[in-house]
A and B are shown apart, each in its own frame.
Chain A
Amino acid sequence: MSEEVIKTEGLTKVFNKHLTAVDHVNFSVKHGEIFGFLGPNGAGKTTTINMLITILKPTEGTASVLGFDIAKQHDDVRNVIGVVPQEYTADEDLTGLENILLCADLYGIPRQISKERAVDLLKLVELTDFKDKRVETYSGGMRRRLELACGLINRPRVLFLDEPTLGLDVQTRTATWDYIRRLKKEFGMTLFMTTHYLEEADALCDRVAIIDHGKIVVVGTPEELKHSLGGDIITLSIKEDHDVSELIRSVENVKEVKNENGSYRIKAEYGEVTAPFIIEALRKKGYTVTKLMLTEPTLNEVYLEYTGRSMRDTEESVEAFRTQRMTMRRARGG
C-alpha cells in the first residue's frame, strides 16, 4: 500500500475568475494518520476538502486519493472515501436508520449487507435506541453521530471530516473526539479533518497544516509546531526591586528575557527543567522568587505566530453561521 494516501500538487481553486480560495496547496497525508487542516473561516479549508471529495473541480493542479486522480477517476475516489460534511445533511423527515440505509443505497451496497452494517454503526455511535425516531427530534450531538455513521457505511479507507464538532457543546465535542480516535484505532482508517478549534487539532491530529488565505503556512505535528516557537514561557517575579534580566539570561537554555514592570517573561527550552535552575541562580545571588508560572505554548501561540491573528477573531462568524442554519431550519419547518 502506498504510504501517501492523499497527495496534492499545486491544488488551486479560483471562484468567479478572481477569488482565489485555495492557492497552490501542496501536502500529503500518510496512511493511518489523522491529518488536521487548521485555519479561520474563509481560509480555504472547506474548498480544499470539497475538491478532495470530488464535488468541486480544481482550477489548477492535481490531487490524488489512494492513488486515484480526483479529476479523472472521481468515481473510484467516491467509492473509497467517506464524508462527514460540515452541515447536518441527514434528512430530518426520515429516521436515523432510514438515513443510514439511504446512504448505503447511494454506494450500491446490497440491502442485506447494509442492514447488518447499519446495526453495527448505530451501536458504534450509540444511536441504537433512537434508530426509529425521526432525525428532527435528534439533538446536535446525535445528528453529528448520525453523520459519522452515514460517512462510514461504505467502509471508507479515508474519512473526510469537515468541522466535525462545529457548534457542539464541550461534552459532546469531547465525546465526538473519542469516536474519531476509536475509528482510527478500530478501522485503521486515514482521517482528514478541518477544524478551527485549536484544542481539537492538538488533541486529535497526528499532523496539522495551518492554512490561511488559501495558502498552507506550516505543516507538522502539534509538538513540532509548538517546539518551533522556541520553547516554553516562564513568568516570574522577585521580591527585590532590581533588574535581574542579565542574570536570568546566563542560565542554560534561556533564550529570551523581557522585564515587564518587575515581572519577567522568559522564553526557555525545556521549561520544566530550566525553571529550577533559574530559581537556584537567583537564590545564590540573594534574590527571593515570589511567583513563578510555567506555560507550554499551545497551538494558539503557533497560530498567532504564523498568521499574525488570534483564532478568537473568527468566533463571531461561527455564531453567524449557526444563526443562519437555525433560520434555515425554521423556515423549512414553517
Chain B
Amino acid sequence: MSKLNEHHPGKFHGIWALTKRELKKWLKEPIILLMAILQPVLWMGLFGKAMNIGNMFSSGSLSLPLVVPIPGSSLIPPQLGDAFGNIYVDGSYLSNAFANLGPTIMQGIFGVKDYFSYMAIGMISFIVMFTTMFSGMSIVWDRRLGFLNKVLSTPVSRGTIIFAKVLNASLRAIFQATIILILAVIFGLQVSSTFTVVNILGLYAAVFLLSVGMSSVFLAVALRSTRWETQMAIVNLINLPLMFASNTFFPISQMPDWIQAIARVNPISYLTDANRQLTVLSLDASSLMVDFAFLGVFAAVFSVIGIALSWRYLTK
C-alpha cells in the first residue's frame, strides 16, 4: 500500500537540486568548458594584445624626420623662427618628450598605463554578459523537451525554478570570471597598489549582482517563449550594442554625448568600473559604493520582476 509523500517540502527546496542539474550538465560537456576558457584567451590575446593602444602613445609610433617644423606661436619670439614663423626642433628631442607624455595620456584616458590591463577586466563584464544572456535559452529548451512541465507538476515553487536558473547563470559567470582573471595575470595584468586578495571577493560580489539582474531579465523574456530562435535574435540584437555602449573596451569620457547617456545607465558600465577599481585602478570608495548600489538595485528589481512573472506565467 502506498503512502502519502510524507516529506513535506519547504518553500525553497529544489533550488540546489535544479541548480546542480544544470551545473552538472555544463561540467559534463568538456567542449563547452574548453570553449569557456578558449573564448577569453582568444579575445584577450587578439583584441587585448593586438589593439596595442599604449604603444600608440610611445616614441615608437613616431617616425620623425631629423628636424621637425613647428608652426610659430606667440609664445616664441619671432626672431627664433624662419621667415614663416616656423621653428625647427631636432626630432629625437620630440620623440623623447612624447615617450614621457604617452603613459600620461594613457593614464588620463584609461586610468592605467597599459591597455591590456584595462581591457582584461572589461573582458570579465563581456563574459558575464554573454553567459547570462543565454540563460533564457535553457528555459526554452526545458519547455520544448517537456522537462519544465515535469518540474511544474512537482511541489517545487515557480519562483524556485527561475531562481535556480539565475543562480546557475551567476555561478557560471563567477567561474568564467575566475578563468579570465587567472589568464589575465598570466598574460601580464598589472594590478594597482590598492589591490588586495580580499578585493577578489568584492569582484565576485559585483559579478554576482550583475548576473542575477541580467539573467532575470532574459529569463523573464523567455518565460512564455517556445522558440529558441526568438531568444537568439533578441540576444544577438542587443549584446554588441550593449557592450560597446559601455566602458568595457573604451572609456565613456571619449564617447559622444548620446552614447555617454546610454553608457551611464548601462549596468555593464557599473560592473566594469567596480571591477577596475578593485583591481587595476586605485580604489575610490565613494564611486565604488555608487557602482555597488546601482548593481544591487538592478539585481533586486529585476529578480523580483522575474520571480513575479514566473508565478504569473509558468502556469497558463
Residue of A nearest to B25 (CB): A93
Known: A85-B149, A328-B145. A108 touches B315 (CB 8 A): no
From residue B164, how far is it (CB to closest CB) to chain A in Å? 11
Kindly state the separation between the CA atoms of A86 and B149 in the bound complex, as whole angstroms.
10
Q: How far is the CB of A44 from chain B (nearest CB, A)?
A: 15
Q: A57-B316, A93-B28, A94-B21 are in contact. Are A155 and B3 (CB under 8 A)?
A: yes
CA separation between A56 and B148, bound complex, in Å? Answer: 13
Q: Could you tell me the dominant secondary structure of chain A's interface residues?
A: loop
B1 touches A107 (CB 8 A): no
Given contacts A56-B316, A106-B17, contact A81 B153 (CB under 8 A): yes
Alpha-carbon separation in the docked complex, A204 to B260 (Å): 69
B-facing mask of A302-334, CB < 8 A → 1, else 0? 000000000000000000000000001000100
State which residues 77-127 of A face B: CB under 8 Å.
78-81, 83, 85-89, 91, 93-94, 98, 102-103, 105-110, 113
A63 to chain B, nearest CB (A): 15
Q: Do B2 and A156 touch (CB < 8 A)? A: yes
Taking CB atoms, residues of chain B closer than 8 Å to A103 are 150, 154
User: What residues of A have a CB within 8 angstroms of the CB of B315 in the complex?
Assistant: 54-57
Q: How large is the interface on A (under 10, 10 to 19, 20 to 34, 35 or more residues)?
A: 35 or more
Q: Which residues of B contact A210 (CB under 8 A)?
A: none
Given the complex, which residues of A lie within 8 Å of B14, measured CB to CB?
A: 105-106, 108
Q: A188 an interface residue at 8 Å Cβ cutoff?
A: yes
A-chain residues with CB within 8 Å of residue B13 when the two chains form the complex:
105, 108
Tell me whether B5 and A87 are in contact (CB under 8 A).
Answer: no
Q: How many residues of B contact A (CB 8 A)?
A: 34
Is there contact, CB below 8 Å, between A78 and B155?
yes
Chain B residue contacts of A81, Cβ below 8 A: 153
The yes or no answer to A189 lying at the interface (CB within 8 A) is: yes
Q: Does A75 contact B (CB under 8 A)?
A: yes
Check A107 against B146 for contact (C-beta < 8 Å).
no
Which chain A residues lie closer than 8 Å to B17 at the CB level?
A: 102, 105-106
Is the C-beta of B298 less than 8 angstroms from some C-beta in chain A? no
The answer to the question of A157 belonging to the interface, with a C-beta cut-off of 8 Å to chain B, is: yes
Report if A187 contacts B (CB, 8 A). Answer: yes
Instruction: Give the top 6 A-B pairs by smallest Cβ distance, nearest first.
Output: A108-B9, A87-B146, A105-B17, A106-B154, A89-B146, A78-B155
B contacts, CB < 8 Å to A: 1-5, 7-10, 13-14, 16-18, 21, 24-25, 28-29, 141, 144-147, 149-156, 315-316
29 contacts between A and B (CB under 8 A): A53-B153, A54-B153, A55-B316, A75-B155, A79-B4, A79-B9, A85-B149, A87-B145, A87-B146, A88-B145, A89-B149, A91-B21, A91-B25, A91-B147, A93-B24, A94-B25, A102-B17, A103-B154, A105-B14, A107-B9, A107-B155, A108-B13, A110-B7, A154-B5, A154-B154, A155-B3, A155-B5, A157-B2, A187-B1
Residues of A within 8 A of B (CB): 50, 53-57, 75, 78-81, 83, 85-89, 91, 93-94, 98, 102-103, 105-110, 113, 150, 154-157, 187-189, 328, 332
